[in-house]
Amino acid sequence: MELPFEVGALYNRQKQIHGVFGGQQQGGISTPKEHPLVIAFTGEAGVSHGYHDFWDDDEVFHYFGEGQVGDMKYVAGNRAIGEHVKDGKTLVVFQMMGKGRPYRYLGRFICQSSYVRPDTPDGKGQPRAAIVFRLRSLEASLGLAASEKDQAEIDAAIDDVGATSTRRETEVRTKQRLFRERLIGIEKGCRLTGIEDLRFLRASHIKPWADSTHSERVDGENGLLLAPHADLLFDRGWISFSSSGRVLVSSALPTAVKNRLGLNLDASLRCGVFSPRQHSFLDFHRDVVFERHQRAANF
């Protein structure tokens, strides 16, 4: 089925999704009558009830079904997801970006199986049985590129084990893809430019890939979504972020370059709130990556 969506791009739900295909305009699962399509929406709705969709270590997306109060039932939208292959329908997933905001297209998925998760809070905070679907992405990427430094370090890691180690190469590239998948569930867009379209962003590790443990390399909280020029500055330590969320600029950054970048690098600029785990990674970035330029500027 041909779809007018590009992975990573943003779309208005009413006009560009339902206006084209129909289907229910409210709720987390939409089943257009006139098209062989099932549309699932993932995002922050479940967080208020104590659960959230997530990627496991095998790159399987665990998607919680619909039903606000009481045990979830295998009917309506839940059945549509679970039976989409048998019904000959395409399953696509969009990410909610916030109330009144556009939706990010994550691409086509296939439902591999489902399970019941007990003691999951419902809309009233009461424990209930939730249906969770195991979804596999059919997309090669999310329209999101690795940062320049990450890619160089990944390529070097692959080269180090020899050209014949295809298994190692697959493992490294899978980890990088999993990192990106988890990152977009935490960071909505570039903190310096406000860009949220993944096609124009890069996934940048806060604590560099080479310095991270295996678990840190796939931790979405060890990352930022940044526009390419902001990514270059952050990766190379020309900028960082303080514990209060302010942008830090190295005194070694040439003034002429700073003035021509088109970025707001004012020291008073607040770039939002970071999670406690992001703060721990930012501590490393400030102390090691950013500080390197600061020391050089003092000589």
Task: Tell me what pLDDT residue 160 has.
Answer: 62
Query: Average model confidence (pLDDT) for the chain?
Result: 90
Decide if pLDDT at 219 tops 50.
yes
Q: What is the DSSP code (8-state) at residue 147?
A: P
The packing angle between helices 166-183 and 148-160, to 10°, is: 160
Range from 65-79, 91-105, 266-280, 284-298 carrying the lowest mean pLDDT: 284-298
Task: Tell me what pLDDT residue 299 has.
Answer: 47
pLDDT tens for 2-29 read 899 999 999 999 999 999 999 999 889 9
Task: Tell me what pLDDT residue 133 has.
Answer: 98
Q: Give dist(CA 1, CA 11) in Å, integer.
A: 19
| 99 confidence band (pLDDT: 50, 70, 90) | confident
| 142 confidence band (pLDDT: 50, 70, 90) | confident
First to last CA, the chain: 61
| 103 confidence band (pLDDT: 50, 70, 90) | very high
Range from 79-83, 131-135, 138-142, 226-230 carrying the lowest mean pLDDT: 138-142
| 205 confidence band (pLDDT: 50, 70, 90) | very high
Whole-model pTM over 0.85? yes
Task: Tell me what pLDDT residue 122 has.
Answer: 87
Instruction: Give me 11's structure tokens.
Output: 């779309």
Range from 46-60, 208-222, 223-237 carrying the lowest mean pLDDT: 46-60
Cα 296 to the center of its chain, rounded Å:
34
Range from 71-75, 150-154, 217-221, 256-260 carrying the lowest mean pLDDT: 150-154
25 contacts 18 by C-beta, under 8 angstroms:
yes
Average pLDDT, integer, range 36-48: 85
Decide if pLDDT at 296 tops 70.
no
Task: Tell me what pLDDT residue 170 has.
Answer: 72
Decide if pLDDT at 134 tops 50.
yes
Going edge to edge, which strands form the sheet with 202-205? 145-146, 202-205, 223-226
Task: Tell me what pLDDT residue 236 has.
Answer: 92
pLDDT tens for 145-199 read 888 777 777 677 666 655 556 666 677 778 889 999 999 999 999 999 999 999 9
Pairing of strands 223-226, 202-205: antiparallel
Task: Tell me what pLDDT residue 162 has.
Answer: 57
Decide if pLDDT at 269 tops 90.
no
Percent of the chain exceeding pLDDT 70 equals 91
Instruction: Give me 52's structure tokens.
Output: 């959230």
pLDDT tens for 246-264 read 999 998 899 999 999 999 9
